Amino acid sequence: MPLRTLETWPHGAIMLDAEHTRFALWAPDAFYVSVELEDGQSLPLLPQADGWFVINTRCPAGTRYRYNIDGELEVPDPASRAQAGDIDRHSVVVDPLAYQWQHSAWLGRPWNEAVIYELHVGALGGFSEVEQHLGRLVELGISSIELMPLAQFPGDRNWGYDGVLPYAPQASYGTPEQLKHLIDTAHGHGLAVILDVVYNHFGPDGNYLHRYAKAFFREDKHTPWGAAIDFRRREVRDFFIDNALMWLLEYRFDGLRLDAVHAIEDPDFLQELAQKVRQQTDPARHVWLTVENEHNQASLLEEGFDAQWNDDGHNALHVLLTGETDAYYADYARNPTEQLARCLSQGFVFQGHVTRHGTTRGEPSGHLPPSAFVLFLQNHDQIGNRALGERLHQLANPNALKAATALLLLSPMIPLMFMGDEFAAKQPFLFFTSHHGELAELVREGRRNEFAAFSAFADPHKLGQIPDPNARQTFEASRPELTSSRQSAMHDLYRQLLQIRHQQIIPRLPGAQALGAEVLAAGAVTARWRLGDGSQLRIDLNLSDTPVVHTPQADASLLFEYPPQSASLLDQGTLAPYCALISLTAAAPLLPPDGERP
């Protein structure tokens, strides 16, 4: 398997052999840079062309160090491979070959087999503690886990999207070797492991690049997080592309989910990243690249990326299940059933359609396979961006939710669930951080101001009850109980549906294409797909409390029905309330050529 080389990995502390390390920092605004070792040595880096400072020196793995800029400011290595604690502590030289892999022959799993379980490592207790859940996830029918961002952030509690050292796994979760052991153990269970990476911004605390590398950013473009990262610069592109390759090659992650790529201004950075990943990973490996992208760029899914998180599908389903139409759900308030049908038949809902802001969004996506879209009923955002972090089972009719769960797990789109979904966990997933001082106050007030315009929080007393993101109890309340309800009805439903998916859907997914979807009534749709073996999958869904006139399908095998006996009711021409029927029609036999009929 390829390993990092000086040509591939220019940023940071790179071990040259067991006793020597090269330190390299891109600091075009600095006059002088030294590396300060914890033992008291101060080693001046030699200035090179294009703003680089470099030194090769005797320095073994485990050495702790910081950079000194112009004799005025000590900073962590922006490409630190590990921190000896928080962001204000020393960076650590890491030997990438120290971990002895037990499942080095693992090549991953084909994308059509993906059943994704998103989790927060900190909420489960750290890298070693996550390992304790792997066996039960396999038993449930999960084929891949997706870890929310791990890049070192300030403090010990955070969703992960405030990371400032993208190469360093969060120290409060464990060591690089413990992360590798988690991935290795997951591979031993047959689980692929995806990492959520954030390349569109740095967090608000602990990023010193503005001090010595202003060219990392562009002041003419701004994002919700400040000045945009300048992906036009080669050094900046390499910083992030090399990071992606580190996770895939050194840590052997099976895939990456790129956060909010709509906030990445450069039009071809993503294509280059995908190209480099495909070129430098073993072609025998199954490496998955997915994106979150408000722009709904279908073209990106034809340029090296496997799939996009389908927020459109979630939003339409959420409106149908809860009736909520605040904020971005307003775009799905008028015709959610029609939009769900468009999602099932064409992927995106917004394909150049006009939003509530009067702008167009999206590109045509009907030509893409259903596996180009990751569907979910919940994820970290859709729960945690709520003021009180409620889960969907606390907002929706339980029977409608079970019907929607059948759609999620048996449609040809790739299903994703969030930790706790399988148990209908009662614990919320709240927005939490561990900032201090003025920043903590700004985050606290910003969180409350975010919901001030919502009718539910018009009362100042209720607004004040929104949990403080920086309080430890907010984090502790977000830690789900995942072992005490193994025999819950929801858990049994997930396991039953995933058994059907593995047996009947996944083997037929390659080559699948949508045949169309039809609105039957408010809240009710029927959708069909031709699967790779020529069979036809049909899903009849009614999320409303009203029975709907519908036509049964002849010669179809019933894969699943909810509620019981709803298939018999459809035989009489009625689709029951809160109902999901999934059926499969075998491929028509091929006719022999003319002249060969018996």
The residues that are catalytic are: 259, 292
Query: Could you write out the three-class secondary structure of 51-91?
Result: HEEEEEEECCCCCEEEEEECCCEEECCCCCCCECCCCCCCE
Put residue 470 in one of left, alpha, beta given phi > 0 → left and psi -120 to 50 → alpha.
alpha
Q: List the one residue out of 172, 208, 171, 182 whose CA is nearest residue 94.
A: 171
Per the DSSP assignment, residues forming a β-bridge with 23 are 13, 55
Per the DSSP assignment, residues forming a β-bridge with 288 are 255
**83 and 91 in contact (C-beta within 8 Å)?**
yes
Q: How many residues does the chain have?
A: 598
Instruction: Give residue for tokens 């309330």.
Output: 577
Query: Before 10, cis peptide (omega within 30)?
Result: no
Q: What whole-number distance in Å separates Cα of residue 414 and Cα of residue 401?
A: 18
- Give the pair of three-digit tokens for residue 344: 């099932």
Q: What whole-number distance in Å separates Cα of residue 466 and Cα of residue 344?
A: 36
Strands (E) located in 264-342: 288-291, 307-309
3-state secondary structure of 289: strand
Q: What whole-number distance in Å separates Cα of residue 434 and Cα of residue 469?
A: 8
Question: Cα 37 to the chain's mean position, in Å?
Answer: 37
Q: What whole-number distance in Å separates Cα of residue 231 and Cα of residue 229?
A: 6
Strand 91-92 vs strand 151-152: parallel, antiparallel, or unpaired?
unpaired
Q: What whole-number distance in Å separates Cα of residue 526 and Cα of residue 276?
A: 41
3-state secondary structure of 388: coil
Instruction: Give residue for tokens 């036999």.
Output: 589
Q: What whole-number distance in Å separates Cα of residue 414 and Cα of residue 422?
A: 17
Torsion from C-alpha of 519, 522, 524, 525, nearest 10 degrees? 20
Q: What whole-number distance in Å separates Cα of residue 298 and Cα of residue 219?
A: 29
Q: List the one residue out of 541, 535, 539 whose CA is nearest residue 504.
A: 535
**347 and 519 in contact (C-beta within 8 Å)?**
no
**531 and 504 in contact (C-beta within 8 Å)?**
no
- For helices 489-500 and 398-410, the axis angle rounded to 10 degrees is 20
Buried b / exposed e along 97-130 (16+ C-beta atoms within 10 A): eebeeeeeebebbebbbbbbbbbbbbbbebbbeb
Strand 548-549 vs strand 574-575: parallel, antiparallel, or unpaired?
antiparallel
Whether the CA torsion 514, 351, 372, 194 is positive or negative: it is negative
Q: What whole-number distance in Å separates Cα of residue 343 and Cα of residue 222?
A: 31
3-state secondary structure of 33: strand
Amino acid in position 78: P
